[in-house]
């Protein structure tokens, strides 16, 4: 029905002549009482307009007999000409009128935007003497007409049965219509066919879209139902028989997971009561017996994992040994005794292979060192957990491990830097041999890029060396502090023993012994304070020293202290880039020079900073 086959009242089985025979077509059209027009020329409406994507072999597949292209409502003709050839409109003869095509040199007539579901067209420029019968005779060639609404002002609206028929009607826009052979102005006019917006068309289009949406929702629902996972099996209700079966399942390792789910569901349902408490207790007890089995399984898996780690470590060690041998071969081949006998291309390949092998060796060595460091850390954690008295030794080993790791990273970066330097030297040699061509320009860019990367690696190497030196100094300082504290403890212990012996000999009382103990504790605290003063960080820059001097002078002038906002407003006059947070952090770093006090009560509570360096000197 969508292709217009339902509007034909002719038995198509009688039209079984050849499509390409014009004589047969003329005979058939004379028998039907139609004028044979347009057989040798172009078709009335092209296939690209009438039926988008029509397959010419449709008649061969479905057995449909070829149909006359001039039968109303069809327009199926032999294949159209190539698209690069312009379509030439011809004269169309009807019984009551004749349609003359427009000038092919003129631009095509303009049309408005097509409304959704459009089945109605506006036809303007009709002759004054045109009737509905003449209009229907002209436009029924485009398809079935459901309604024609003609106005008195030489225009009308035509509604077709299907949307594709509107495209055929738009094709007639620009034709000049002449009634009969009259030359009167009232019997001629230029047709203007355009899309029209009708409420019925839009309503039918909305209904069709809703139907498609319903079908899409139904399809999605069916797809979701098909892909939805099956529901879990229903759990049976509690009974003594089921409880006995469940107790047997709990003892079986293969059915334990299923049985524990049923037990959990029964307990959550509230099946436990005085009568069934003993059965539930026995089932819980059997569930608890599986804990030992699970722990044994875990231990077995951990053992397998340790064995896999050990095998991986051994394999990695063997690979690293082979890499070392390969690198040694490359280094031996680069010596002058063997290097002079190779050609230039062979030297270049050997150098590239050597660099690649060194990079792989370094990567594998880093991986192996990481595994060893992890093992050492695990062992150190176990030792610290077993012996709390070895914490200081663990800290030293951690610092040593960090220093060793930084040293390894420094070595790897140095190797990479040597590789980059070798590449730069090779590029310089190639640059000296070639002219200033496009290839040399690209190599210059590569050389510049490698130089930048080398500079970045050097900066990174310097920073790592600084970190290594800092770690070494911290390690040495920690060792010195340890030895100093041990020596102090020995001296104090000896003093304490000697004083106790003197007290026992001279017969002093316990108050004198307590005074001696207090004196030793004071000495230890004083030594700790000295160590803390040594550890306290100094000033980082000259700017901080200048700020401390200004703040000290300002707070000394204000003996009752000043809040941080007042101090910041004063400092901003000297340096506008300084912030209040920076000033507060600087004051908090020097507790012997500045102290913070709270003044006021309730809503008037305020924090103020005071200068207390002179008080510290007095107390000392």
Q: What is the pLDDT of residues 367-426, one digit of tens each?
A: 888 888 888 887 766 655 555 544 455 456 667 777 777 887 787 788 778 778 877 887
Cα 539 to chain centroid distance, Å, stands at: 46
304 is a domain residue: yes
CATH assignment of the domain containing 154: 3.30.70.330
Domain ranges, residue 296: 240-311
Q: Are residues 125 and 198 in the same domain?
A: yes
pLDDT digits (tens, 9 = 90+) for 102-149: 988 888 888 999 999 999 999 999 998 889 999 999 999 999 999 999
Q: Are residues 335 and 296 in the same domain?
A: no
468 is a domain residue: no
User: Contact, 120 vs 159, CB < 8 A?
Assistant: yes
Q: How many domains does the structure of the chain reveal?
A: 4
Q: Are residues 180 and 96 in the same domain?
A: yes
Q: How far apart are CA 115 and CA 123, in angstroms?
A: 16
Per-residue model confidence (pLDDT) at position 332: 85
Q: Which two tokens stand for residue 577?
A: 């880039």
Q: Are residues 331 and 300 in the same domain?
A: no
Last residue of a domain, one of 278, 311, 344: 311
Secondary structure of residue 38 in the 3-state scheme: coil
Q: Return the H-helix or E-strand segment holding 133.
A: helix 132-139
245 is a domain residue: yes
Q: Are residues 119 and 198 in the same domain?
A: yes
269 is a domain residue: yes
User: Contact, 556 vs 517, CB < 8 A?
Assistant: no
CATH assignment of the domain containing 581: 1.10.10
Per-residue model confidence (pLDDT) at position 162: 93
pTM: 0.30
Q: Are residues 574 and 606 in the same domain?
A: yes
Per-residue model confidence (pLDDT) at position 160: 95
Q: Which residue stretches of the chain have pLDDT < 70? A: 1-87, 380-398, 432-440, 506-540, 616-620
Q: Are residues 292 and 361 in the same domain?
A: no
Q: How far apart are CA 449 and CA 385, in angstroms?
A: 51
84 is a domain residue: no
Per-residue model confidence (pLDDT) at position 343: 86
Q: Are residues 100 and 197 in the same domain?
A: yes
Q: Are residues 186 and 291 in the same domain?
A: no
Cα→Cα distances 204→1, 121, 161, 215, Å: 17, 16, 11, 17
Per-residue model confidence (pLDDT) at position 506: 65
264 is a domain residue: yes
392 is a domain residue: no
Q: Measure the N-to-C terminal CA separation of the chain; round to a whole number of Å.
A: 112
Q: What is the dihedral of CA 316, 322, 328, 330, to 10 degrees?
A: -110
382 is a domain residue: no
Last residue of a domain, one of 360, 376, 392: 376
Q: Are residues 249 and 345 in the same domain?
A: no
User: Contact, 269 vs 238, CB < 8 A?
Assistant: yes
Q: Are residues 307 and 322 in the same domain?
A: no
Q: Are residues 248 and 268 in the same domain?
A: yes
617 backbone dihedrals φ, ψ, rounded to 5°: -70, -40
Last residue of a domain, one of 281, 296, 311: 311
């Amino acid at each position: 029905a969508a292709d217009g086959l339902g509007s034909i009242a002719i038995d198509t089985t009688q039209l079984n002549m050849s499509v390409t025979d014009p004589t047969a077509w003329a005979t058939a059209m004379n028998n039907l009482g139609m004028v044979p027009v347009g057989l040798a020329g172009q078709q009335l409406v092209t296939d690209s307009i009438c039926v988008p994507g029509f397959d010419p072999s449709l008649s061969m597949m479905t057995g449909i007999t070829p149909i006359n292209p001039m039968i109303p409502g069809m327009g199926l003709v032999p294949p159209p000409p190539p698209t690069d050839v312009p379509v030439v409109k011809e004269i169309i003869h009807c019984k009551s009128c004749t349609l003359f095509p427009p000038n092919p040199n003129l631009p095509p007539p303009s049309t408005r935007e097509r409304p959704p579901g459009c089945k109605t067209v506006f036809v303007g420029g009709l002759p004054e003497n045109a009737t509905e019968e003449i209009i229907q005779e002209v436009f029924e060639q485009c398809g079935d007409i459901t309604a024609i609404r003609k106005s008195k002002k030489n225009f009308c609206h035509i509604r077709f049965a299907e949307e594709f028929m509107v495209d055929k009607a738009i094709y007639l826009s620009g034709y000049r219509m002449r009634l009969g052979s009259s030359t009167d102005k009232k019997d001629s006019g230029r047709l203007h066919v355009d899309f029209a917006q009708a409420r019925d068309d839009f309503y039918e289009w909305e209904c069709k879209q809703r139907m498609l949406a319903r079908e899409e929702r139904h399809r999605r629902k069916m797809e979701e139902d098909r892909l939805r996972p099956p529901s879990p099996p229903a759990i049976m209700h509690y009974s003594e028989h089921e409880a006995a079966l469940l107790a047997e399942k709990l003892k079986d390792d293969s059915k334990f997971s299923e049985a524990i789910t049923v037990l959990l569901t029964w307990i959550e349902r509230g099946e436990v009561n005085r009568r069934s408490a003993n059965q539930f207790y026995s089932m819980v007890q059997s569930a608890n017996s599986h804990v030992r089995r699970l722990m044994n399984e875990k231990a077995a898996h951990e053992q397998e994992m340790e064995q896999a780690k050990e095998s991986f470590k051994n394999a990695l060690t063997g690979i690293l040994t082979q890499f070392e041998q390969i690198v040694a071969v490359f280094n031996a081949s680069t010596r002058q005794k063997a290097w002079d006998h190779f050609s230039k291309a062979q030297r270049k390949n050997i150098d590239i292979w050597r660099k690649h092998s060194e990079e792989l060796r370094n990567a594998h060595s880093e991986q192996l060192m990481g595994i060893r460091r992890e093992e050492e850390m695990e062992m150190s954690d176990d030792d610290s957990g077993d012996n709390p008295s070895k914490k200081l030794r663990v800290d030293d080993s951690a610092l040593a491990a960090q220093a060793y790791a930084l040293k390894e990273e420094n070595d790897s970066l140095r190797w990479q830097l040597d590789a980059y330097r070798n590449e730069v030297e090779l590029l310089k040699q190639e640059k000296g041999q070639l002219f200033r061509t496009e290839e040399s320009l690209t190599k210059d860019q590569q050389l510049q890029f490698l130089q930048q990367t080398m500079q970045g690696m050097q900066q990174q190497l310097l920073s790592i060396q600084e970190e290594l030196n800092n770690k070494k100094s911290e390690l040495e300082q920690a060792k010195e502090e340890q030895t100093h504290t041990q020596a102090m403890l020995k001296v104090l212990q000896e003093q304490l023993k000697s004083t106790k012996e003197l007290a026992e000999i001279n017969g002093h009382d316990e108050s004198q012994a307590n005074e001696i103990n207090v004196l030793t504790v004071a000495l230890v605290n004083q030594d700790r304070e000295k160590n803390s003063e040594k550890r306290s960080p100094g000033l980082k820059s000259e700017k901080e020293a200048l700020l401390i001097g200004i703040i000290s002078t300002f707070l000394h002038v204000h003996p009752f202290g000043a809040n941080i906002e007042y101090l910041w407003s004063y400092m901003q006059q000297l340096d506008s880039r300084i912030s209040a947070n920076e000033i507060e952090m600087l004051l908090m770093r020097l507790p012997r020079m500045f102290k913070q006090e709270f003044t006021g009560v309730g809503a008037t509570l305020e924090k103020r900073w005071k200068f207390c360096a002179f008080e510290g000197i007095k107390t000392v």
